[in-house]
Amino acid sequence: MVNFFASYLVGRSTSYTWNTFVSDLRLADVGVGQGSALSPVLSTLFIAPIMKLFQLRAIRLGSTLLSYVDDGTAVMQSKSLDNNNAVLKQAYVILFVLFAALGLVLEHEKTELFHFDRSHSDHNPPLDLGYIPYTGDRLLTPKTYWRYLGFYFDRKLLFTEHVRYYATKSFSTVQAMGMLSNSTRGLPPLEKCLLYRACVLPIATYRFRLWFFEGAKNKTAFKILTQMQLCGSQGPSVPPQQEAQRPWQASYPSTFICGS
């Protein structure tokens, strides 16, 4: 095990390349290189026992811990958002103690709070995390939309913001394609169509199964995508209108708190 880690941390060197220029080898024996295969291994070795211990200690709270590498999410579901906040505060204390015991640090300032709620209430309570900077007079305010692993969640799981974001991104891509041809030269129409299908549609429909399934109310999502495609086919213009309705969702109000 020692030799395994030593091979990554001791006697390492690197060089820099710019066009045809390649620098001499230089020592790089501080830390682990960006994108190194060691990073997920270390993350697993540390986070796996934390998740197991959290499950044992937080079982009475009813809170769940999810993790994607170093991006952790504590989840609580009940009939009250205020109760969710109270439980998540206790869960965060448990996480802080576990991380500290392993010599790891929770960056409180990177913590985010998000409430899911299908009711028509505007109640969206902030959280006293119990740690600076989110304690006392400065509370952790819930986000309007929650971005997680490239997905954009809204409180009622309509995914309107998700569709709007990727439709706008697709529209920007279409406008950039205008540099590749004009009315007299450049890509022929057939190749432009192929480019649109290969580069624009995958962006516009990114993770469409989040909102496109049997029984889902996705009229607004289709409206946004249709406007994007119409504007894209007409060349550079203003972005599509992005007004949304909200129909549906979840069983009980749920709250997520995530950080790294």
Residue with tokens 């070795």: 45
Q: What is the pTM of this model?
A: 0.70
Residue with tokens 């999810």: 66
Q: In this structure, how many other beta carbons lie within 10 angstroms of the beta carbon of residue 193? A: 11
Mean predicted confidence (pLDDT) in 171-198: 81
Residue 87 near residue 62 (C-beta atoms within 8 A): yes
Nearest to 145 by CA among 129, 130, 124, 131: 124
Element holding 29 (H helix, E strand): none
> pLDDT at residue 259 above 60?
no
Q: How does pLDDT run across 139-181, given as a tens digit for each residue?
A: 999 999 999 888 999 998 889 999 999 999 988 888 888 787 7
For 19, counting Cβ atoms within 10 Å of its Cβ (0-12 exposed, 13-18 middle, 19+ buried), the class is exposed
Nearest to 187 by CA among 179, 176, 197: 179
Q: Facing residues of 237 across strands?
A: none
Picking from 102-106, 239-243, 248-252, which range would have the lowest pLDDT averaged per residue?
Answer: 248-252
Please tell me the predicted confidence (pLDDT) of residue 240.
Answer: 43
Higher pLDDT, 8 or 72: 72
Secondary structure (DSSP) of 76-100:
EE-S-HHHHHHHHHHHHHHHHHHHH
Higher pLDDT, 29 or 202: 202
Mean predicted confidence (pLDDT) in 28-57: 80
